[in-house]
Amino acid sequence: MRDNMTNTELILNMLAEAATTDLSKAQNPETFEENMTVAQKGGKVARSARKELEKELGHSVVSPMNAKQYLPQKDSDVKAIEGISAVEE
């Protein structure tokens, strides 16, 4: 997934992860629900940064591209991946 992200998308993702880690260390959540709340707060930090940057730039910083657009698709590649998936199941 990260191979298909722009630098800005990577930085925002890293901000969300770092904010969540710092919040977790500060709040020391013990239950799943507490951890979920901390994770949501970390994501909110990155969301706020993204929205502020987009406001200043006047356009979205999220790339409209996805992995299918970055990677060439060949029938043999798809069949090979499907074969691996069938074996793993």
Write down the domain spans for the chain. Answer: 2-88
60 within 8 A of 54, measured Cβ to Cβ: yes
Higher pLDDT, residue 86 or 31? 31
What is the average pLDDT across 56-83? 70
pLDDT confidence of residue 63: 82
Most confident stretch, 26-30, 72-76, 77-81: 26-30
pLDDT in tens, 24-33: 999 999 999 9
What pTM was estimated for this model as a whole? 0.69
